[in-house]
Structure 1
Amino acid sequence: MTRVLVSVRDAVEAQVAAAAGVPFIDLKEPSRGALGGLDPAVIAPIVAQLRTSAPQAVVSATIGDWPAEAADEVAARCRAVAATGVDHVKAGVVPGGAALALLRQLDALRRTEGLPIVPVLVADDGVPWALVDAALAAGFELLMLDTVDKRGGSLLQRCALADLQRFVAASRAVRARPGLAGALRAEDWPQLAALAPDFAGFRSAVCAGDRAGTLSAERLLALLRMSAGAAQA
């Protein structure tokens, strides 16, 4: 069953998600970009709070939007976010000349330091197959597709359905758990359920206003009901 991932920006929104029973809670600051990061000093107490209020939930956090060339900054941020106690550290990888080198560095941090890193591969212009193949060959346990420009349509509008099916199948073939995100809408759920990724990420669809607005408990519960209904169908 595909799990719902919901991104939250503070302790209040985290509690809304916990009360609703969200299975995968992601910590980020949407006003700072697609993978806008919260300060680790902010992340740590939210994680501690969620371990009590939502002990079954998986908790992740982003490191922020960094260019692939900023290798030292990316490594430092990954270490700082991992130290907050999250289950997964999400690090964006934008296709380009330095992307494969960054992916190799993230893999080294995972292997040598045990950091629970999830590469988030940017798919604004379609599935970046070279990065997907490299990440799967490296053996990352979780792998995610996302978009940077949230105004340009959802991931399902930017990537061919056959490519998304191939991404999920290729991940499953090596026992990696694939995730999909990128301006996803509640009405996308039936198609997402058919694709059957391990998780699907939402922010704007469960906010009052755009993704930088406030998390809406009503919209969140509606999405969770839809996902539960699809799982039982």
Structure 2
Amino acid sequence: MTRVLVSVRDAAEAQLAAAAGVPFIDLKEPSRGALGGLDPGLIAPIVAQLRASAPQAVISATIGDWPAEAADQVAARCRAVAATGVDHVKAGVVPGPAARALLRQLDALRRTEGLPIVPVLVADDGVPWPLVDAALADGFGLLMLDTVDKRGGSLLQRCALDALQRFVTASRAVQARPGLAGALRAEDWPQLAALAPDFVGFRSAVCAGDRAGTLSAERLSTLMAQRDQA
């Protein structure tokens, strides 16, 4: 079954997601950007709390929005976030001249230091196939597509369904687990579930107001009900 991922910004939201039965909880600060990062000092106690209250939940955290050229800062942030005890460290990769070099660096951190890196490939302009192919060839176990401009349309509006299906199929073919995110709505669940990715990420759909607002128990319940009905 495709898992629901919900992004949370603090301990209270993390507990709300856990109480709703969310299986994949992602830690980020949405006011800092698409992959805005929480300070590692704030991540660690939330991880400890979730390990006690929801031991079955998978926990990820973002490193923040960094340009591909900021290689040293990206590496340092990946190490700091990994040290908090999360299961996965999400690092954004924006298509551009330095993107492939950044992927190679993330792969090196994974292979040589054992960091649980998940590349998040930015798909505002469609699926970035050269980066997808490179990441799959590198052997990443988890791989995501996401968008940066949350007001410019959802992932489903920016990428054709057959392209997303191709991404999922190509990932599965090499035993990688694909994830989809990007301004997705609860009512998108049937289409998303039909694609059968490993997980689908939500933030704005489960907030009161926009994605920088507060997590809503009612909207979380609606999302989980959509999943159960699919």
TM-score by length of 2: 0.98
Q: Which residue of 1 aligns with 2:146?
A: 146
**1:61-210 matched pairs, under 5 angstroms:** 61-210=61-210
The structure 1 segments of at least 4 consecutive aligned residues displaced by more than 6 Å after TM superposition are none
Gapped regions of structure 2 (runs ≥ 5): none
- The Cα offsets for residues 122-158 of structure 1, whole Å up to 9 and x where unpaired, read as 0000000000000000000000000000000100000
Q: CA deviation at 1:231?
A: 5.4
Q: Deviation string for 1:41-87 (max 9, x for gaps)?
A: 00000000000011000000000000000000000000000000000
**SS in structure 1 of the partner of residue 109 of structure 2:** helix
SS at match of 2:134: helix
**CA distance in 2: counterparts of 1:45 and 1:109, whole angstroms:** 24
DSSP-derived class of the 2:171 partner = helix
Q: 1:232 to 1:209 in 2, by over 3 A?
A: closer
Task: Name the SS for the 1:151 alignment partner.
Answer: coil
What is the alpha-carbon distance in structure 2 between the residues aligned to residue 32 and residue 85 of structure 1? 22
Q: Distance in 1 between matches of 2:145 and 2:27?
A: 17
Percent identical residues? 90
* Cα RMSD for the two superposed structures: 0.9
Say if 1:169 and 1:149 are closer, same or farther in 2 by CA, change over 3 A: same
Residues 18-63 of structure 1: per-residue CA shift (max 9 Å, x gap)? 1111000000000000000000000000000000011000000000
- TM-score scaled to structure 1, two decimals? 0.97
In the aligned structure 2, how far is the partner of 1:183 from the partner of 1:204? 6
Aligned positions, number: 230
- Unpaired runs of 5+ residues, structure 1, are none
SS at match of 1:150: coil
Q: Describe the shift of the 1:213–1:163 C-alpha distance in structure 2 as closer, same or farther (beyond 3 A).
A: same
**125 and 81 in structure 1: CA distance in 2 versus 1, 3 angstrom threshold:** same
CA shift, 1:229, in A, is 5.8
Structure-2 separation of matches of 1:32 and 1:230: 29
Q: 1:82 to 1:188 in 2, by over 3 A?
A: same
CA distance in 1, matches of 2:223, 2:182: 16
**TM-fit CA distance, 1:222:** 1.1
Distance 1:5 1:98 in 2: 29
